Amino acid sequence: MARLVVEVLDASDLMPKDGQGSASPYVELVFEVSDPQNLADRTIEVTVYNDKKSGHGHHKNFLGRVRISGVSVATTETQASVQRYPLDKRGMFSHIKGDIALKMFLVNDPSFQFFPPPNKEDRRENNESEVPPLEEINPNNVTSNFGNNYEQQQQQAPPSQSNHQTQQSYPKTEVRADFMKAAPQPAMMMQVPGKKPDYELVETRPPVAAHMGYRKGDTIGSTYDLVEQMHYLYASVVKARDLPVMDITGSLDPYVEVKLGNYKGVTKHLEKNQNPVWNQIFAFSKERLQSNLLEVIVKDKDFGKDDFVGRVMFDLTEVPLRVPPDSPLAPQWYKLEDKKGQRGNRGEIMLAVWMGTQADEAFPEAWHSDAHSISHHNLAHTRSKVYFSPKLYYLRVLVIEAQDLVPSDRGRAPVTQVRVQLGNQMRATRPSPMQTLNPIWNDELMFVASEPFDEFLILTVEDKVGPGRDEILGKMIIPVRELPHRLETAKPPDPRWFNLLRHSHGDEDGEKKEKMKFASKIHLRLCLEAGYHVLDESTHFSSDLQPSSKHLRKAPIGILELGILSAKNLLPMKGKEGRLTDPYCVAKYGNKWIRTRTLLDTLAPKWNEQYTWEVFDPCTVITVGVFDNNHVSGNDAKEQRIGKVRIRLSTLETDRIYSHFYPLLVLTPGGLKKHGELQLAVRFTCTAWVNMVAQYGRPLLPKMHYAQPIPVKHIDWLRHQAMQMVAARLARAEPPLRREVVEYMLDVDIHMFSLRRSKANFFRIMSVLSGISAVCRWFNDVCTWRNPITTCLVHILFLILVCYPELILPTIFLYLFVIGVWNYRFRPRTPPHMDARISHAEHVHPDELDEEFDTFPTSRPNEIVRMRYDRLRSVAGRVQAVVGDLATQGERAQALLSWRDPRATAIFIFLSLVCAVFLYVTPFQVIAVLVGLFMLRHPRFRSKMPSVPVNFFKRLPAKSDMLL
């Protein structure tokens, strides 16, 4: 004997019957199950009514019904999850809509408690902390029927007594009266008021194949071993043939309806086609199976009611199971039946039906029952996709000189410059210092080009006639695909002379241009640099450091596997629309971007998708972002940011699975917010240990960055152009990866000024210097004899090292070894994550946040800008003072031998001569003992005044007195 527990949580988007709002009561119904093994063959029916009191009796309106197969019932409460089911209609003209949230599981323990209603005394004691229950029952009643007889019994009883009738018919049924109250707003459940949210990682151990001991060679753990397996019923509708004509006109507009319970997927209709080809795949989640039969119905599209052509039905118990890496299931021809199950001359349809997992290659392109309410046009925005960034190159342009320029005013010396344009990128050389008809520039410009090279390089020579007036003296256009490539430190291509076309405001015939014998010329050196890595990310968390040319790339050293499992406690991003959140994830590593499928209207999505990348350098970072999809309903609004996670691969142990909940932290104009938690499983597998260890001794960037470094003035501009190019290319994909998503993943605005970041960087420096200051404090305590025992031990160690100087270096390295081994116990056990404390994001002033999120140039009033400018001047003044002090110390050290102070330099060189003679005739051990004992002398032999060398150094001149 077992108990079936049906928890009815809430319903949404119901058809209004009385024009009033509705609450969300929580009802738990318990039924006796005599034989749990036969539960898979039975059907659970849940019917929603509206209880309307009119006159002396009651009248109930039908709001929808859900039929659920017993296969989807969880065996334990821990395995059960809340599922939303769409409400089925009674007929074609029914206006039923909405869905209902249910949680079903079996209980075998007779001592299981079903949360009995609290008594009055307990309710009085907790009255201050508890919300009082509602006085009236919600008019939208929910009844749960088990088997086929319960519906008839329920219809005989008055609707107002449906819950009481349930208790009479089934004595074990208990109503959770403590939950019969209005449901709180979802946003109020995210964070407890007055309590600081948790920003730390939470380690998890999900039931995935890798955690359960399966090896890589096993069939079960061979694919998707970092995520929980999710089973789906796949139906592939390929094509049909010999369909009958249904219209009077002799035409047929066929489409296919794949129906499983209340879920219904529909193909596109093809006009006037008796042999249509659809090639569409439908996927139904096994957790939401509502029927034991799958119906594939062919219909004829019509203005009124669509005509029934034929159908094929499949029993789910006979559907085969396909496990990758098995080959795809071959589709077969099935004869269509009429509504009575008789096969006539109704044509045939080619289908394939199988049970699979998310590892199936049909999973990304399939129509999912999770997105049953999405139109065909917007369905593409919910699917999982893989994107690749365009291959980027640096384009180097060296403008050397020009000859025989022809200005309009020959009596004036021209002031010439060259303007170069590549797509949306435009740069200009500095004006030529020689104001002649043969100017010389020798100026180098750099651009970012991407494959395929379908753009043109446009150069124009301009003469600055006056303020804001430029006259074009010549122009040339070069296809980028014709430019030579340069690999690593090879000799650059030789410069070439190019003819400049004269600029004309009107249209000229091409033949007239070809007949021109005389033309101005320009001397250029052009090449595509394939030996550089084009930076499209910040160097602090770059995911790719490979050169542009594939011939210069090294072999991979490992594999990175990422499992995107689930998220929880997400904030409702569409609360104003009466919906929750449509979340999806984007991950970026190297040139490969991935996008998970979008799960609709949920705050606890479960993706369970796994992806793999090749790793060429362990000192790289993978970035995972979570976004709210605003395009599932056809809107053109921007995707909303939910949060982002970065993981540095070098901080991961090889072959270890890291599965944690990562906090999704977002800094908004209103402050730091936690938008939920993202559950990830990460594993870094090394395939070439020798190459990975050797990688730590190699330069971080390719050789060209050090042999011929790019000028600093170009780096930030080129990085910005590369980011914009990647964002524009991915935005043209289908479905597009939106520009705001790419910019958020690449941190386009990381270079913008932020007082918060400045504080964070300052305290980072102080944290680094704290170790040095701690050593200095320890040495000062030794010298001042604060702990006599420690000082005596240091004296003994010092004398031993002086007597045996060959032990100094071994002792230092042995000490480092011991410290490293000792610190192994305290090594971090979790991957790095966004730290709100280090970022100084927890307690930041609102005005500083407003300044950080301000546009560039600013859009704030003049008074606010003036105040911020004064504050910036104050902060910059302190930074200026610190930099000036550091420069002063360095200039004093240079003044020792520069004779800027003749007396000080004479004293220093005379003392240097005396020290040289003294050190020559005195053994080194004696000198070391004297210096060491002098520094470790007792405090009673010390003076509080500065020492002579310090006083001498501070009196040396610096260049600060030469500043204006």
Q: DSSP readout, 820-841?
A: HHHHGGG---S-----TTTTT-
Is 562 inside a domain boundary? yes
Give the domain-ending residue among 65, 86, 107: 107
Q: Please give the single-letter amino acid code of residue 903.
A: R
- pLDDT confidence of residue 842: 78
**For 44-81, what is each residue's pLDDT tens digit?**
888 887 765 544 455 567 778 887 777 778 777 766 77
Is 226 inside a domain boundary? no
How sure is the predictor about 109, in pLDDT bands with cuts at 50, 70 and 90? Answer: low
Whether residues 660 and 771 share a domain: the answer is no
Mean pLDDT for 653-674 is 89
- CA 339/CA 317 separation, integer angstroms: 22
**For 244-258, what is each residue's pLDDT tens digit?**
887 777 788 899 999
- pLDDT confidence of residue 114: 47
If one compares 34 and 401, the residue with the highest pLDDT of the two is: 401
DSSP state of 467: T
Name, in order, each residue with C-beta under 8 angstroms of 202's C-beta and a sequence gap of 6 or more.
660, 661, 677
Q: Where are the alpha helices (DSSP H) in 161-203?
A: 162-169
**Residue 177 burial by Cβ neighbours in a 10 Å radius (0-12, 13-18, 19+):** middle
- pLDDT confidence of residue 34: 74
How sure is the predictor about 24, in pLDDT bands with cuts at 50, 70 and 90? Answer: very low
Q: Are 359 and 223 in contact (CB under 8 A)?
A: yes
Is 121 inside a domain boundary? no
Name, in order, each residue with C-beta under 8 angstroms of 373's C-beta and a sequence gap of 6 or more.
86, 600
Beta-bridge mates of residue 295: 259, 313
Q: Report strand pairing: 343-357 vs 558-568.
A: unpaired
- CA 750/CA 329 separation, integer angstroms: 49
Is residue 204 helix, strand or coil? Answer: coil
- CA 484/CA 883 separation, integer angstroms: 45
Closest CA to 534 of 770, 725, 296, 299: 725
Count of CB atoms situated within 10 Å of the CB of 74: 16
Is 345 inside a domain boundary? yes
Give the domain-ending residue among 107, 133, 148: 107
Is 754 inside a domain boundary? no
What's the CATH code of the domain at 439? 2.60.40.150
How sure is the predictor about 389, in pLDDT bands with cuts at 50, 70 and 90? Answer: very high
DSSP H or E segment with residue 271: none
Whether residues 330 and 400 share a domain: the answer is no
- CA 852/CA 409 separation, integer angstroms: 50
Name, in order, each residue with C-beta under 8 angstroms of 797's C-beta and a sequence gap of 6 or more.
none
Is residue 593 helix, strand or coil? Answer: strand
If one compares 4 and 639, the residue with the highest pLDDT of the two is: 639
What residue has token string 């208990």? 174
Q: Where are the alpha helices (DSSP H) in 702-839?
A: 704-707, 712-731, 739-746, 755-783, 788-803, 808-823
Q: Please give the single-letter amino acid code of residue 896.
A: L
How sure is the predictor about 3, in pLDDT bands with cuts at 50, 70 and 90? Answer: confident
How sure is the predictor about 91, in pLDDT bands with cuts at 50, 70 and 90? Answer: low
Is 140 inside a domain boundary? no
Domain encompassing residue 806:
759-962
Is 23 inside a domain boundary? yes
Work out the angle between the directed axes of helices 755-783 and 862-894 (0-180°, nearest 10): 30
Per-residue tokens: 484: 């030579």
How sure is the predictor about 181, in pLDDT bands with cuts at 50, 70 and 90? Answer: very low
Total domains, the chain? 5
Whether residues 630 and 703 share a domain: the answer is yes
Using CA atoms, how far residue 646 sits from 257, 495, 649, 661, in Å, is 43, 45, 10, 13
Whether residues 614 and 704 share a domain: the answer is yes
Whether residues 579 and 711 share a domain: the answer is yes
Whether residues 7 and 52 share a domain: the answer is yes
- pLDDT confidence of residue 118: 41
How sure is the predictor about 209, in pLDDT bands with cuts at 50, 70 and 90? Answer: confident
- pLDDT confidence of residue 125: 39
- CA 671/CA 855 separation, integer angstroms: 17
Q: Are 518 and 575 in contact (CB under 8 A)?
A: no
Per mean pLDDT, which range of 402-406, 634-638, 737-741, 888-892 is the poorest?
Answer: 634-638
Whether residues 779 and 819 share a domain: the answer is yes
Per mean pLDDT, which range of 45-54, 616-625, 633-642, 686-695 is the poorest?
Answer: 45-54
- pLDDT confidence of residue 184: 39
Closest CA to 603 of 103, 104, 182, 82: 82
What residue has token string 């080619």? 350
Q: Report strand pairing: 277-285 vs 367-368.
A: parallel
Per-residue tokens: 467: 């303020």
Give the domain-ending residue among 82, 107, 132: 107
3-state helix, strand, coil in the chain (%, to 5): 30, 30, 40
**Per residue, what are the HEC states of 395-408?**
EEEEEEEEECCCCC
Whether residues 913 and 777 share a domain: the answer is yes
Whether residues 457 and 492 share a domain: the answer is yes
Q: Report strand pairing: 2-12 vs 27-33.
A: antiparallel
Using CA atoms, how far residue 73 sits from 83, 177, 230, 371, 601, in Å, is 11, 24, 15, 22, 22
If one compares 390 and 26, the residue with the highest pLDDT of the two is: 390
Per mean pLDDT, which range of 99-108, 179-188, 320-329 is the poorest?
Answer: 179-188
Whether residues 329 and 407 share a domain: the answer is no
- CA 730/CA 721 separation, integer angstroms: 14
Residue 105 has pLDDT above 90, yes or no: no
What residue has token string 């049953």? 372
- CA 868/CA 894 separation, integer angstroms: 39
Q: Are 314 and 336 in contact (CB under 8 A)?
A: no
Is 752 inside a domain boundary? no
- CA 932/CA 799 separation, integer angstroms: 9
Rounded to 5 degrees, what are φ and ψ at 873? -65, -40
Query: What share of the chain has pLDDT > 70, as a percent?
Result: 83
Q: Are 602 and 580 in contact (CB under 8 A)?
A: yes
Closest CA to 191 of 834, 671, 849: 671
- CA 762/CA 699 separation, integer angstroms: 28
- pLDDT confidence of residue 612: 94
Q: Are 357 and 232 in contact (CB under 8 A)?
A: yes
Would you say how long the chain is, in residues? 964
Beta-bridge mates of residue 401: 440, 523
- CA 247/CA 305 separation, integer angstroms: 12
Average pLDDT, the chain: 79
Whether residues 736 and 772 share a domain: the answer is no
Residue 203 has pLDDT above 50, yes or no: yes
- CA 921/CA 901 separation, integer angstroms: 31
Q: Are 591 and 392 in contact (CB under 8 A)?
A: no
Whether residues 343 and 402 share a domain: the answer is no
- CA 396/CA 444 separation, integer angstroms: 7
- CA 844/CA 37 separation, integer angstroms: 59
**Per residue, what are the HEC states of 840-860?**
CCCCCCHHHHHHHCCCCCCCC
